[in-house]
Amino acid sequence: MTDWQGFRSLFGAGTPRRLWLFGRFQALVELAASTGRLRRVFVWGSFVTAKPVPRDIDVLLIMDADFEVDRAPLPAHIVFDSIHSKLLFEADVFGARASIGEEVLQMWLETYQVSRILGKRGIVEAELE
């Protein structure tokens, strides 16, 4: 886990592509947080590597157990729409409710940690401010 400033320093700086993607990521997280139900944010893939030009952002949002997209502020709906979030944020956004529990969350994270070529990759939890 890393705090927001640490996350930004590590992954959101250094190249124009990283700066731009971090801005998209920050907008995505702010919209998710506007629901008042965002609890945790995990990021993996090329964005959390040393690649100067990451392809996109892979994100898992953990929301409150009682979260319902339909009750969220209308602007936040786009975050939870996979096609629109890919187009607007260049992000593959996955979501789950906190009620899945820690054991299932760990199984999901272990699955996301396997790359396309079956290697292990890092997952970073971005601490919310």
CA distances in angstroms from 121 to 44, 110, 115, 124, listed in the order given: 7, 10, 6, 10
Interval 6-39: pLDDT, tens = 889 999 999 999 999 999 999 999 999 999 999 9
Domains of the chain: 4-125 (3.30.460)
Inform me whether the pLDDT recorded for 112 exceeds 80: no
pLDDT-derived band of residue 113, with 50, 70 and 90 as boundaries?
Answer: confident
Per-residue pLDDT at 13: 92
